[in-house]
Structure 1
Amino acid sequence: MIWVIALGIVTVISVIMGVKKKKAVFLLVPFVSIFAFMLVKIIMVPLPFTDTVRFIFSLRG
């Protein structure tokens, strides 16, 4: 839950900074932070990285 709040705060701050400074780079920060979070969570799985990624993409909903 703390990660959701932290990523929400990062998103709000980056959107505000992007609007104030009129720079699109600030709008990439939420995407990069969420990608980094997902990558860390995938790396924490005790299987080899390629097996984990293959398992995630083989799931069907």
Structure 2
Amino acid sequence: MIWVIAFGLVTIASVVLGLKKKRALYLLVPVASIFTFVLVKIIMVPLPFTDTVRFIFSLSG
């Protein structure tokens, strides 16, 4: 739950900064932080990286 609040605060802060300073770069911060979080969680799985990614994508169908 703490991660949801943290990513929510990062998103709100980057949107406010992006609109205030009129720079689109600030809008990439939430996407990059969530992508980094997912990548770290995948790396933390004790299986090899490729097997983990294959398993994740095999869950959808």
Interval of TM-score (by shorter of Structure 1 and Structure 2): over 0.9
Q: What is the TM-score of this pair, normalised by structure 1? A: 0.96
Number of residues paired by the alignment?
A: 61
Are 1:56 and 2:35 counterparts? no
Q: Distance in 2 between matches of 1:30 and 1:42?
A: 18
Q: Which runs of 4+ in 1 moved over 6 A?
A: none
Question: Which consecutive residues of structure 1, in runs of 5 or more, have no partner in the other structure?
Answer: none
* Secondary structure at 2:8 match in 1: helix
Question: Which consecutive residues of structure 2, in runs of 5 or more, have no partner in the other structure?
Answer: none
Q: Distance in 2 between matches of 1:51 and 1:19?
A: 41
* Secondary structure at 1:46 match in 2: coil
